[in-house]
């Protein structure tokens, strides 16, 4: 969670930084184009004033108009010097002074220099610079003719043909310069629009990235919260179930511990009053059975408490031997119950927890013997082990007394005893279910009253040998 948070923070930080830079340079480019257009206005005014004064001079030959022509010409000449200085990569201070002479506002000069340095390789910008250069060539051509005319005037010679030629040249050049200046502004404006569109697309893309990142992170956080809430609810339910189970356990334990003691006290009193030897033996026999049952109950409780918090420790175990040992332990030489074991050769040895497997096998076989039907002439217990979908399936089937359908779910509850006349504690099937769940498996009961029962245990993801 922390790693994802850091990643989103870094991503949003850099995306925000890009947005800031995009907006900064977008504003700077707009300012640069505006500065060039402002400079072009001063340039245009200077050259038009120069040509106007030159026209007056040609028509009047008054020296004052010539001087005004030269003074006005200094504006475009200074701008042209600034352009050449930028091309030659002269110091910014030199360029700055030239633009000051060209009547460019000081606040615009830095933007003009910055744009020239950073966009000089762009086709549109180079086109604008070429237009700027062409205007200089036109002014130089006019200046050459104007100087020739000035020399003739100073020498007292009036060359009418030269005067007419110069007037026509000034008119043509004025029109040409107007077109160049218009194209200059249009080219720079078009370049600015192209760059602005590109920056807007990048701006939109980065914004989308930020929104998507934050949305994804928000969805991740919400999903995490829902997951945490679900885990918390599961933990709460688990604690609630454990408390409920603990209450049931304590109540049942106190009841099942006190009941035999009460019965034992009654038998002791009867025995103390009994004078007949046979009667005393009968009472002692009943006491022995009560103590045996109580001992079995205490052992099951201890086994339950010992296994509750155990973590399965898988190792190679001999499943076939465990099944045979369980039959030998529970049969008590009862030849009236036929037993069979069918096990796949590949499943005779498996990787699993030996303690939990023994609890499952021993209790299932013990219950099968315990609840065999004495009324039936042919009694049997069959154990079948096979694989299904890479799982180990253990089936224990008998033709005992069976379990009524309405009690088949309750038999797995703690301390539930179906038949109080049978020797049992009500913990066997509960221990089996707990052990199966510890191993990540399932247990299913299929039973018909009077016909028998079949318990099916499925243990998943077991490595077969």
Q: In whole angstroms, what is the distance from residue 259 CA to residue 264 CA?
A: 9
Q: Supply the pLDDT for residue 384.
A: 94
Q: Supply the pLDDT for residue 252.
A: 46
> Which pTM value belongs to this model?
0.45
Q: Supply the pLDDT for residue 255.
A: 43
Scanning 61-122, the segments in alpha helix (DSSP H) are 63-87, 92-101, 106-119
Q: In whole angstroms, what is the distance from residue 456 CA to residue 39 CA?
A: 94
Q: Which helix (H) or strand (E) holds 21?
A: helix 2-60
For the chain, 465 residues long, give each residue's pLDDT as a single digit of tens.
Answer: 566 677 777 777 777 787 788 777 777 777 878 888 888 888 888 888 988 999 999 889 899 999 998 999 898 899 889 989 999 999 999 999 998 988 888 988 898 898 888 888 888 888 888 888 888 888 888 889 889 888 888 888 877 888 888 888 888 888 888 888 888 888 878 877 877 787 778 778 877 877 777 777 778 778 878 888 888 888 777 777 666 555 545 544 554 455 556 666 676 777 777 667 777 777 677 777 667 666 665 665 565 566 556 678 888 889 999 998 888 877 754 558 888 999 988 888 888 888 888 889 988 998 888 888 888 889 899 999 998 888 999 999 999 888 888 777 777 776 556 554 455 555 678 888 888 988 889 999 898 888 899 999 999 765 644
What burial letters (b/e) apply to 346-359, b meaning 16+ CB within 10 Å?
ebeebebbbbbbeb
293 contacts 264 by C-beta, under 8 angstroms = no
389 contacts 442 by C-beta, under 8 angstroms = no
Q: Supply the pLDDT for residue 24.
A: 76
Burial degree of 323 (CB within 10 A; 0-12, 13-18, 19+): buried
Q: Supply the pLDDT for residue 407.
A: 74
411 contacts 425 by C-beta, under 8 angstroms = no
Residues β-bridged to residue 355:
none
78 contacts 97 by C-beta, under 8 angstroms = no
Q: Supply the pLDDT for residue 174.
A: 85
């Amino acid at each position: 969670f922390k790693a994802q948070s850091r990643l989103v923070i870094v991503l949003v930080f850099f995306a925000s930084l890009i947005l800031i830079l995009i907006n900064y340079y977008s504003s700077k480019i707009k300012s640069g184009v505006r500065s060039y257009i402002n400079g072009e206005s001063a340039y245009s005014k200077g050259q038009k004033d120069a040509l106007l004064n030159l026209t007056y001079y040609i028509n009047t030959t008054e020296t004052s108009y010539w001087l005004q022509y030269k003074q006005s010409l200094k504006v475009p000449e200074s701008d042209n010097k600034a352009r050449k200085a930028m091309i030659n990569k002269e110091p910014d201070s030199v360029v700055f002074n030239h633009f000051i002479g060209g009547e460019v506002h000081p606040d615009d000069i830095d933007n003009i220099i910055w744009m020239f340095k950073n966009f000089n390789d762009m086709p549109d910008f180079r086109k604008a610079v070429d237009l700027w250069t062409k205007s200089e060539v036109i002014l130089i051509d006019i200046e050459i003719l104007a100087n020739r005319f000035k020399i003739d005037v100073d020498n007292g010679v009036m060359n009418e043909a030269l005067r007419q030629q110069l007037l026509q040249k000034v008119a043509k050049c004025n029109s040409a310069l107007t077109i160049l200046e218009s194209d200059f502004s249009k080219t720079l404006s078009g370049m600015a629009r192209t760059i602005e569109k590109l920056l807007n697309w990048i701006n939109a893309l980065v914004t989308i990235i930020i929104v998507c990142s934050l949305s994804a992170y928000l969805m991740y956080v919400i999903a995490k919260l829902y997951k945490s809430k679900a885990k918390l609810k599961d933990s709460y339910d688990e604690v609630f179930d454990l408390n409920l189970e603990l209450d049931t356990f304590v109540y049942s334990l106190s009841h099942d511990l006190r009941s035999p003691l009460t019965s034992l006290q009654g038998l002791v009193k009867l025995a103390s009053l009994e004078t007949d030897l046979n009667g005393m033996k009968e009472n002692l026999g009943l006491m022995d059975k009560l103590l045996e049952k109580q001992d079995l109950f205490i052992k099951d409780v201890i086994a339950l408490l010992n296994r509750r918090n155990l973590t399965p420790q898988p190792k190679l175990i001999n499943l076939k031997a465990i099944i045979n040992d369980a039959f030998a332990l529970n049969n008590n030489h009862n030849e009236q119950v036929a037993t069979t074991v069918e096990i796949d050769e590949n499943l005779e040895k498996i990787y699993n927890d030996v303690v939990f497997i023994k609890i499952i096998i021993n209790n299932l076989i013990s219950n099968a013997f315990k609840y065999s039907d004495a009324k039936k002439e042919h009694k049997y217990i069959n154990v079948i082990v096979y694989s299904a979908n890479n799982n180990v399936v253990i089936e224990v089937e008998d033709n005992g007394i069976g379990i009524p359908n309405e009690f088949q779910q309750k038999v797995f509850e703690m301390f539930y005893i179906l038949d109080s006349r049978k020797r049992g504690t009500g913990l066997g099937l509960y221990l089996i279910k707990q052990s199966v769940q510890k191993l990540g498996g399932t247990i299913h009961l299929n039973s018909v009253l009077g016909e028998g029962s079949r318990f099916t245990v499925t243990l998943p993801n077991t490595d077969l040998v």
